[in-house]
Amino acid sequence: MTTIICAECGKAPFGVQPSGLFRCDRCGSEITARDLVFDEGEVWVIDSAGTLGYLPAPN
Ligand SMILES: [Zn+2]
């Protein structure tokens, strides 16, 4: 998994919230899964710690 870093502060990853939103650990910026833009075949994932990331397209 490649961790997605907040575009607002450029410092911290996003953690999943009970609301289903993703919140930056540092600046508090919130995004939704719909805000994520990926290349073809890439998918977003959440690791066991609740951190947002993505998986590259399968070969
Ligand atoms: Zn941030």
pLDDT digits (tens, 9 = 90+) for 8-35: 999 999 999 999 999 999 999 999 989 9
Closest to 30 measured CA to CA, from 45, 52, 48: 52
Distance 55 CA to ligand 1 centre (A): 21
Number of domains in the chain: 1
Residue 30 Cα to ligand 1 middle (Å): 8
For ligand 1, the distance from its centroid to the CA atom of residue 29, given in whole angstroms, is: 5
Q: What is the pTM of this model?
A: 0.87
**What integer pLDDT is reported at residue 28 of this predicted model?**
97
What's the gap in Å between 13 CA and the centre of ligand 1?
A: 7
pLDDT (0 to 100) of residue 26: 97
Q: Give me the phi and psi of 28, to 5 degrees please.
A: 85, 5
Partners of 45 in beta bridges: 53
pLDDT of 59:
82
* Residue 8: domain span: 2-55
Answer whether 38's CB lies under 8 Å from 30's CB.
Answer: no
